[in-house]
Amino acid sequence: MVKHNVKFHQLSYREMEHLRQFRRDVTKCFFLGIISIPPFANYLVFLLMYLFPRQLLIRHFWTPKQQIDFLHIYHDIRKKSHPEVLSYLEKVIPLISDEGLRWHMTELCTKIRRGTHPAIQEILALRKSFSNHPLGMNQLHASQIKALSRAMLLTTYLPSPLLRHRLKTHTTVIHQLDKALAKLGINQLTDQEVKSACYLRGLNSTLIAEERCRTWLAEWLQISCNLKEAELSLLLHNVVLLSTNYIGTRR
């Protein structure tokens, strides 16, 4: 990529996804490399990897059972942030200047609270409210930034400016992946690739049949590909809005 001056968004979907996962795996390996530097510390590293495989080992080294169990654990962690994200949206409704957008936001939050899966147009109708105060990416409160970080399975143990930057970067990467996937076509993905794509975007795809995963992913892409860069806060919140009440996600 450096030699030919190729940017991330210029890669094909599968190349982008492999590179994204590779970067995450390298981060874990880098941490293990650091703690194994002292003499004889490598013995401690082996013990830690045995005791904490979810935290320290990359997915390549998980057993099939561990993969399912760990994905459930991770989803339970991010699911705990969903009520907090929705509560914040309800709290800022009076701060939205446009009366029509206030009504749409109230209706959307009420539907999700009642257990109804929202329609695509109901989410896209709120695009403008997520491009500036109070729900634009740069205007989100620190508490909402932390809740969204948990929803995206990102660490919350960083200062708010760094958390906001990580969320922006992570959301931009997903948006670029979405554009590449829309170009490739969901029908070109294997069942496992579809499930992985859904899980990355907030859906616990381990519980859902492949065909329903493809339907949900198509809904996500329809929303994502209609958003501009200034509206990516909506894509970030969509991790909660679109996944909370989807059929088959409740255990």
pLDDT of res. 180: 96
Virtual torsion, Cα 152, 136, 183, 211, nearest 10 deg: 50
Would you say the C-alpha torsion 206, 56, 238, 214 has a positive or negative sign? Answer: negative
Give how many domains the chain has, as a whole number.
Answer: 2
Q: Is residue 6 part of a domain?
A: no
Question: What is the chain's length?
Answer: 251
List the chain residues with pLDDT less than 50.
251
pLDDT in tens, 198-242: 999 999 998 899 999 999 999 999 999 999 999 999 999 999 999
- The whole domain housing 154 covers 63-244
Would you say the C-alpha torsion 55, 60, 66, 72 has a positive or negative sign? Answer: positive
State whether residue 143 is helix, strand or coil: helix
pLDDT of res. 249: 60
pLDDT in tens, 56-83: 888 888 888 999 999 999 999 999 999 9
d(CA 153, CA 163): 12
pTM: 0.90
Runs of H (alpha helix) within 129-189: 142-151, 160-184
- Record the tokens describing residue 21, joined without a space: 């996962």
Q: Same domain, yes or no, for 94 and 184? A: yes
Q: Is residue 16 part of a domain?
A: no
